Amino acid sequence: MITTDEIREKYLNFFKEKSHYEIPASPLVLEGDPTTLFTSAGMQPLIPYLKGEPHPKGRRLCNSQPSIRLQDIDEVGDNRHTTFFEMLGNWSLGDYFKKEQLAWFWEFLTDILSLPKDKLYVSIFEGLKDERGKVVVPKDEESYKVWLSLGVPEERIFFYGSEKNWWSRSGEPISMPEGEIGGPDSEVFYDFGKPRHEGCHPNCDCGRFLEIGNSVFMEYEKKNGKLVFLPEKNVDFGGGLERLSMAANNIEDIFLTDPYLGVVRALEGISGIKYDDNNRNRSFRVIADHLRASVNILSEGIYPSNKLHGYVLRRLLRRSFLHFYFLCGFSDWKLDEIVLTLESNEKIKKNIEFVQELIKEEELKFRRILDRGIKIIEKAVRDGVKIDGKFAFDLYQNEGFPWELTLEISQEKGLNLVSDVKDQFKKEFEKHQEISRKASVGVFKGGLADHSYEVVKLHTATHLLHSALRKVLGDSVSQKGSNITSERLRFDFSFPRKLSDEEIRKVETLVNKVITDKLPVSWEEKKLEDAIEEGALHFFAEKYGDVVKVYTVGDPKGGYFSKEVCGGPHVKNTSELGYVRIIKQEKLGQTAVRIYAVNEEKK
């Protein structure tokens, strides 16, 4: 069996031999990009370069990018969908194009991974016309000819429209917002060889075919409601590492590949249930995927909460707990121990105790929710209250109690539930989502990244806060996470208690003195090891390249107030900032604090 580690190494080595530079993976939460909660593809941090900005490492790049796609969260439970995955990627920024890309990927699949050629099918873009029949994007005849030249027979080449063979972060061309980029693509599918129905084809969802790679020909940008050509033709390839493992090992179930197998076997041991019990497979799969996603999010300093990234993390963990309950009931839960069976990178290993602590805390909270929710249901039964979708939603909304569990417990008690309880719950939930969407207007304001002047100023203010907190509270303070919008900054740091009013006043005074002192803000590139040796602060969960930018507030050669590894952007002088005020603080678990601050007009 070839492991995912071996596939990743083979892929990166293959493209490095083709003169590609391996760029470091980006964090799951991109600093300064409020348009998306999590990195969902390797191309996301590269958008400025796909739009024409020169990349400092050249025109050929490759990497393996951890990613999260939340649109698949409700699909988890089948044999292939996950919320967290690694995306193998290679890019041409105005260099090679279709002929080289398709030939290289074919070579990687058939020569390096030794996949049988007769098990591989491809799809191509059939073109796009407007309502008057005018061609907007032509049919991809070039890719068709390349695939034929590589020996792919005509009967294994399929043309599809923009619903299937167009890629942008926001879907089809018609739905792309202003400034979004996209293009036609060509996908490769692996055939497991078991037709599920008559007329089976690569893009049906019967389970016979598995997409294992997508070469996007990134040529277009949406401007003034129309597709216009980018300055250069680019290649943006993405291939799911775990799916490539399925194909390379001819395994139809992604949860039997090595990233998940340890969790599956551990759950079998705890529950006494075999994974091949199809009635229980969904719970095994949800736990394996959601725990893996949660561990990676936690390792980046995100805490469970009721907002944004923390809300997603809490939802993933609670779905894991719910399905563990389905498998094991109220027996001794050991999810914090099960995470040790997951594959670990250095970031996870470094923070595993922190990860386990947070999972245990959330588990105890969820147990209390279960206990209270069950008592509410039992009382409702005694009082003759109708258990329907509205009741299930109110219990979910007010207590955080999963509606699936309301349904299960009620059925166990022999209640005659309203037949459309699930649809009722869904309607109530959609109403709640609509209210939430209206309330959150302005949080995600569109565009590809918020590098507005207000965000840039708060980015610099975050560095000042980090340094000031260490000077007031001690060097044990270290950054655990941050989030910046144009309205405020949020900064998470290690500390065992909330700050006193006096400590907050001292921190604010220090920061604002640096602002009134009008200190210069400068940066220089240097090796990471040199930057750390010089005392530059760095975010514990970040994954850096060998060469980094170091931003200094004050004199870089001595007498500086702050020196920190960061990608930027920043103001050029602290005098550009207004008065920084801490407006709120929260305790996060046992070992961390979160503060919120704003940048106001000078007093």
Q: What is the reported pLDDT for 435?
A: 52
Residues 6 or more apart whose Cβ sits within 8 Å of residue 536: 550, 563, 564, 565
For the chain, which ranges sit under pLDDT 50? 436-450, 541
Q: What is the reported pLDDT for 509?
A: 94
Side chain identity, residue 565: V
Q: What is the reported pLDDT for 438?
A: 45
Q: What is the reported pLDDT for 418?
A: 53
Q: What is the reported pLDDT for 514?
A: 93
Which residues is 168 bridged to in the sheet? 182
Into which CATH architecture does domain 4-252 fall? 2-Layer Sandwich (3.30)
Residues 6 or more apart whose Cβ sits within 8 Å of residue 132: none
Compute φ and ψ for 206, nearest 5 degrees.
Answer: -75, -15
Residues 6 or more apart whose Cβ sits within 8 Å of residue 397: 432
3 state SS for 307-339: CHHHHHHHHHHHHHHHHHHHHHCCCCCCHHHHH
What span, in angstroms and rounded, lies between the C-alpha atoms of 340 and 111? 35
What span, in angstroms and rounded, lies between the C-alpha atoms of 514 and 503? 17
CB 283 within 8 A of CB 323: yes
3 state SS for 243-256: HHHHHHCCCCCHHH
What span, in angstroms and rounded, lies between the C-alpha atoms of 534 and 1? 45
Within a 10 A sphere around the Cβ of 331, how many other Cβ atoms? 11
CB 489 within 8 A of CB 482: yes
DSSP 3-state assignment of 96? coil
- Could you tell me the two tokens for 104? 């290289």
Q: What is the reported pLDDT for 405?
A: 75
Q: Tokens 């563990």, residue? A: 324
Q: What is the reported pLDDT for 286?
A: 92
Residues 6 or more apart whose Cβ sits within 8 Å of residue 152: 106, 117, 120, 122
Q: What is the reported pLDDT for 546?
A: 67
- Could you tell me the two tokens for 131? 């309502």
Side chain identity, residue 73: I
Q: What is the reported pLDDT for 436?
A: 47
Q: What is the reported pLDDT for 457?
A: 87
CATH class of 453-600: alpha beta
Which residues is 61 bridged to in the sheet? 21, 91
What span, in angstroms and rounded, lies between the C-alpha atoms of 594 and 590? 12
Q: Tokens 């390792």, residue? A: 299
- Whole-model pTM over 0.85: no
Which residues is 554 bridged to in the sheet? none
Q: Where are the domains of the chain?
A: 4-252, 266-364, 386-448, 453-600
Report the share of the chain in percent with pLDDT over 70: 89
Within a 10 A sphere around the Cβ of 426, how many other Cβ atoms? 14
pLDDT by residue (tens digit) across 413-448?
Answer: 555 555 566 677 777 766 765 554 444 433 333 333
